[in-house]
């Protein structure tokens, strides 16, 4: 994720450790940058794994060692998801799955789960991560958020 790389470069350029960025918050009652990174990881790779298993639960406790650990978490998610073939992902469409948190169980079809729960959560936390870094002065652009564009190669 280029946004994390730019965050690390920004911290190092001002003579501090990227680890100092991990506690950034937009406001006191909002979760820190670490939570945003874990949520991006969980609503991407965790969601993919849940589509395969049929069960989504709140994320496990993730305790990474500093900036490098959170960066590794995101890169592992990118690698594992990128290794999936379109056919394998498409085969998960339309299957029943369940969200379970304590006594609460919500039935979904995989497509509805992605479109109405996990994808909106992914974008919320990705946006918050981006905003936290921008608030701290990291030079990010809209293209850093959007990532690589894919064009028709016909």
Examine residue 95 and state whether it is found in any structural domain, yes or no.
no
In which domain, by residue range, is 1 found?
A: 1-8+29-82+114-146
Q: Could you give the CA distance from residue 6 to residue 45 in angstroms, rounded to a whole number?
A: 22
Per-residue pLDDT, 17: 96
Q: Could you give the CA distance from residue 32 to residue 11 in angstroms, rounded to a whole number?
A: 17
Examine residue 109 and state whether it is found in any structural domain, yes or no.
no
What number is the average pLDDT over the span 43-56? 97
Per-residue pLDDT, 148: 85
Examine residue 65 and state whether it is found in any structural domain, yes or no.
yes
Examine residue 40 and state whether it is found in any structural domain, yes or no.
yes
Examine residue 39 and state whether it is found in any structural domain, yes or no.
yes
Examine residue 4 and state whether it is found in any structural domain, yes or no.
yes
| Residue 153 confidence class, pLDDT cut points 50, 70, 90 | confident
Average pLDDT, the chain: 95
Examine residue 76 and state whether it is found in any structural domain, yes or no.
yes
Is residue 15 left, alpha or beta, with left meaning phi > 0 and alpha meaning psi from -120 to 50? left
Count of structural domains within the chain: 1
Q: Could you give the CA distance from residue 124 to residue 73 in angstroms, rounded to a whole number?
A: 18
CA dihedral (75, 80, 81, 85) positive or negative: positive
Q: Could you give the CA distance from residue 26 to residue 19 in angstroms, rounded to a whole number?
A: 17
For residue 49, give Cα distances in angstroms to 46, 66, 154: 5, 25, 32
Per-residue pLDDT, 100: 97
pLDDT > 90? residue 63: no
Examine residue 54 and state whether it is found in any structural domain, yes or no.
yes
């Amino acid at each position: 994720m280029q946004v994390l790389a730019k965050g690390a470069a920004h911290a190092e350029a001002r003579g501090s450790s990227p680890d100092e960025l991990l506690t950034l918050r937009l406001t006191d009652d909002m979760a820190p940058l670490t939570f945003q990174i874990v949520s991006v990881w969980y609503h991407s790779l965790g969601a993919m794994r849940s589509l395969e298993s049929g069960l989504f639960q709140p994320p496990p406790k993730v305790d990474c060692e500093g900036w490098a650990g959170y960066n590794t978490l995101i890169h592992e998610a990118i690698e594992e998801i990128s290794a999936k073939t379109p056919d394998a992902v498409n085969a998960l469409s339309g299957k029943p799955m369940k969200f379970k948190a304590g006594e609460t169980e919500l039935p979904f079809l995989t497509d509805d789960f992605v479109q109405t729960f996990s994808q909106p959560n992914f974008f919320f936390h990705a946006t918050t991560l981006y905003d936290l870094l921008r608030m701290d002065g990291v030079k990010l652009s809209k293209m850093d958020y959007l990532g690589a564009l894919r064009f028709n190669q016909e």
